[in-house]
Amino acid sequence: MQLKKILPLAALAVALPALGMAQEAEAVADAAPDVLEAVAALNTEMVFIMNSLLFLIGGFLVFFMAAGFCMLETGLVRSKNATMQATKNVALFSLAGIAYFIVGFNLMYPGDWVIEGWLGGISPTVLEPVGVELADVDDVEYASVGSDFIFQLMFCAAVASIVSGAVAERIKLWPFLAFVIILTGIIYPIQASWSWGEGFLDEMGFSDFAGSSIVHAAGGWAALAGVLVLGARYGKYGKDGKINVMPGSNLPLATLGMFILWLGWFGFNGGSQLAMGTISDVADVSRIFANTNTAASGGAVAALILSTILYKKPDLTMVLNGALAGLVSITAEPLTPSLGAATLIGAVGGVIVVFTVPLLDKFKIDDVVGAIPVHLFAGLWGTMAVPLTNSDASFGTQFVGMAIIGAFMFVASLVVWLILKAVMGIRISDEDQVTGLDKTEMGMEAYPEFGNS
């Protein structure tokens, strides 16, 4: 589009040298306003394209996290529940995608608030028209609506993915999916609008760059509420405080899941810069990539060392969780830390995981994949760590924001879980848990030919 506007100028430019000095000056004078406009437009265009591209790249990277969650969770459940876990992950992502465009997106980024700063607008997402021109673009200094939508949708779906791991192996499919629809269509978007939709938390100065609290702890709170309402898996906790270990069936798959999540996190944090069209923005995105990576390293290494010290032998599942906790920890502020600080912030996340995974078991809170330690506990830590490297944030505000988000996410989720429990029942019977959900609920085995316990 822009090209057509400028090409005549180029033609003119080529023609000019043939003319004398005077005419030339005149021609230039004629052309000048157009040149000025063209340069400005070209710059605007470049920024818009690069920002949109950042969202598109970030979007597909964060999309792939859905596969990462799915593989991590499917690898960490017992094989008799693996088909169910895969089914839940595909279904939750699909439903999130629909719920978010029907209500979520405009609830989260309201043009007009229903209650200013607290409750956004209710209307389905409308993309910019086909072949939109500069003049008709929604926000020419930002990015295309479609790119923004696709990026934000992936965050919303991630919240639901966090929940599915914690409640695995004993929740019924349909109530779970009902929860997902409400979570991704309503609960999360409302909460997220407070910070990212320029609502009251944003006003207050709460700082959560890519969502340690807004996405990860939020998902963790929803998961915690679910786990409490649902109860532990049948047989998980013995009478005299005995913990019956239920090892994950496919650790290589879980490891793949972790790597995919790590990959996706470059989009998750990098894309949250929301801009890539200037030198400072692209340099910031680069900083974020580097800090994100090193925080994951810190988390993994801390979990590796600590699990070896505590249990004599290294624990792969802790290392996987540790890397993820490192990523969650840096998510609230992946930009301002130095590489060293980012590594330490991530390492603390890894430490948190190693200590809190067994702690949850002490309280008989049965979180199959470690979603609560990784996303909730490390998410809270990440949120509180922001002021350590970002002088614009304060511990007080961070704490208040974190608490408000937590209270809302936990209570809202709890209410929904309790209603679902009352209305449909959410728990698979003990006997069916023993047989395995794949046989009783799905009639389809994940690995029909291997083993048969």
Give the footprint of other proteins on this chain (CB under 8 A).
235, 243-245, 247-248, 307, 310-313, 315, 317-318, 354, 357-358, 361, 370, 434-435, 439-440, 443-445, 451-453
- Which among other proteins, a copy of itself, none contacts residue 125 (Cβ within 5 to 8 A by kind)? a copy of itself
Report, in Å, the least distance between residue 419 CB and other proteins: 31
Residue 357 binds which entry of a copy of itself, other proteins, none, CB below 5-8 Å type-dependent: other proteins
Indicate the residue among 181 and 372 with the shorter CB distance to a copy of itself: 181
Q: 377 and 356 in contact (C-beta within 8 Å)?
A: yes
Q: List the single partner that 358 binds among other proteins, a copy of itself, none, CB under 5 to 8 Å by kind.
A: other proteins
Report the amino acid identity of residue 403: A
Please report which residue ranges of 312-394 form alpha helices under DSSP H: 316-331, 339-362, 371, 378-389
Does 127 bind a copy of itself (CB under 8 A)? Our answer is yes
Q: Binds 127, which of other proteins, a copy of itself, none (CB < 5 to 8 A, cut-off by type)? A: a copy of itself
Q: Which does 164 bind (CB under 5 to 8 A by kind): a copy of itself, other proteins, none?
A: none
Nearest distance in Å: CB 224, a copy of itself: 26
Local structure of 427: helix, strand or coil: strand
Is the Cβ–Cβ distance between 138 and 208 less than 8 Å?
A: no
Q: Are 80 and 436 in contact (CB under 8 A)?
A: yes
3-class secondary structure, 100: helix
C-alpha closest to that of 268 among 190, 214, 349: 214
Only segment of 110-118, 184-192, 263-271, 415-423 that touches a copy of itself (CB under 8 A):
263-271
Instruction: Supply the minimum distance, in Å, between the C-beta of residue 139 and a copy of itself.
Output: 11
Q: How far apart are CA 89 and CA 91, in angstroms?
A: 5
DSSP state of 335: S
What x-and-dash track marks residues 315-354 binding a copy of itself by CB under 8 A?
xxx-xx--x-----------xx-xxx--x-----------
| Rg (the chain; Cα; Å) | 25
Beta-carbon contacts of residue 391 (< 8 Å; ≥ 6 apart): none
Nearer to other proteins among residue 389 and residue 435 (C-beta): 435
| C-alpha dist (Å) from residue 198 to 109, 204, 209, 382 | 8, 10, 13, 21
Q: Determine the Cα–Cα distance for residues 39 and 44; give it in Å rounded to an integer.
A: 9
Residue 78 interacts with which of a copy of itself, other proteins, none, CB < 5 to 8 Å by class: a copy of itself
429 contributes a contact to a copy of itself by CB under 8 A: no
CB of 158 to a copy of itself, least distance (A): 14
Nearest C-alpha neighbor of 119 from the set 21, 194, 11: 194
Output the six-digit token pair for 160. Answer: 């639901």
The residue (of 45 and 361) whose beta carbon lies closer to other proteins is 361
Contact partner, 378, from other proteins, a copy of itself, none, Cβ < 5-8 Å per class? none
Give the shortest CB-172-to-a copy of itself separation in angstroms: 11
Minimum Å gap between C-beta 304 and a copy of itself is 6
Please give the structure tokens belonging to residue 327: 């990523």
Tell me the two tokens of residue 72. 């991590």
Choose which of 262, 268, 381, 410 interacts with a copy of itself (CB under 8 A): 262
The residue behind tokens 């200094």 is 141
DSSP assignments along 50-83, one per residue: HHHHHHHHHHHHHHHHHHHHHHHHHHHS-GGGHH
> In this complex, which beta carbon is closest to a copy of itself, that of residue 333 or of residue 404?
333
Residue 207, interface with a copy of itself (CB under 8 A)?
no
Binding mask 362-391 for a copy of itself (x = CB under 8 A): ------------------------------
Best CA proximity match to 263, nearest among 87, 91, 69, 75: 69
Does residue 293 interact with a copy of itself by CB under 8 A?
A: yes
Nearer to other proteins, 8 or 252 (CB): 252
Of the pair 137, 228, the CB lying nearest a copy of itself is at 137
CB burial of residue 137 (10 Å; 0-12, 13-18, 19+): middle
What count of other Cβ atoms lies within 10 Å of the Cβ of residue 110? 22
Regarding 284 and contact with a copy of itself (CB under 8 A), the answer is yes
The residue (of 258 and 354) whose beta carbon lies closer to a copy of itself is 258
